[in-house]
Amino acid sequence: MGLLLFATTDEVVSQNLSVFSPASPQAESIRGLFVLVLAITGGIFLIVEGVLVYSLLRSRRRAAAGEAEPPQVYGSTPIELAWTAAPLLIVFVLFLVVARTEWEVRPGPEDQPPPGSQPLSVTVIGRQWWWEYVYEKYDGREWHVTTANELHVPASDDGVPRPVYLTLKSADVIHSFWVPRLAGKTDLIPGRVNRTWFQTAERGVFLGQCAEFCGTQHANMLLRVVADEPAEFERWLANEAKPAVDEPAAAAGKRAFLAQSCVNCHAVRGTPARGTYAPDLTHLMSRKTLASGMVANSAEELRRWLADPQQVKPGCLMPSFKLSDRDLDLITGYLRTLR
Ligand code: CUA
Please give, one letter per residue, the 3-state secondary structure of the chain: CHHHHHCCCCCCECCCCCCCCCCCHHHHHHHHHHHHHHHHHHHHHHHHHHHHHHHHHHHHHHHHCCCCCCCCCCCCHHHHHHHHHHHHHHHHHHHHHHHHHHHHHCCCCCCCCCCCCCCEEEEEEEECCEEEEEEEEECCEEEEEEEECEEEEECCCCCCCCCEEEEEEECCCCEEEEECCCEEEEEECCCCCEEEEECCCCCEEEEEEECCCCCCCHHHCEEEEEEECHHHHHHHHHHHHCCCCCCHHHHHHHHHHHHCCHHHHCECCCCCCECCCCCCCCCHHHCCEECCCCEECCHHHHHHHHHCHHHHCCCCCCCCCCCCHHHHHHHHHHHCCCC
Residue owning the nearest CA to atom 1 of ligand 1: 175
Atom of ligand 1 at shortest range from CA of 215: 2
Atom of ligand 1 at shortest range from CA of 221: 1
pLDDT at 64: 58
Ligand 1 pocket, 212 CB below 6 A? Answer: yes
Ligand 1 pocket, 175 CB below 6 A? Answer: yes
How far apart are the CA of 316 and the centre of ligand 1, in A? 12
pLDDT at 112: 83
Ligand 1 pocket, 185 CB below 6 A? Answer: no
pLDDT at 110: 79
Ligand 1 pocket, 214 CB below 6 A? Answer: yes
Ligand 1 pocket, 221 CB below 6 A? Answer: yes
Atom of ligand 1 at shortest range from CA of 173: 1
One digit per residue, pLDDT tens: the chain, 339 residues? Answer: 334 444 444 455 667 888 899 999 999 999 999 999 999 999 999 999 999 999 888 877 665 566 677 778 788 899 899 989 999 999 999 999 999 999 989 888 877 888 888 999 999 999 999 999 999 999 889 998 999 999 999 999 888 999 999 999 999 999 999 999 999 999 999 999 999 999 999 999 999 999 999 999 999 999 999 999 999 999 999 999 999 998 899 999 999 999 999 999 999 999 999 999 999 999 999 999 999 999 999 999 999 999 999 999 999 999 999 999 999 999 999 999 999
Ligand 1 pocket, 208 CB below 6 A? Answer: no
Ligand 1 pocket, 205 CB below 6 A? Answer: no
How far apart are the CA of 211 and the centre of ligand 1, in A? 6
Atom of ligand 1 at shortest range from CA of 126: 1
Atom of ligand 1 at shortest range from CA of 218: 2
pLDDT at 8: 46
pLDDT at 63: 57
How far apart are the CA of 225 and the centre of ligand 1, in A? 17
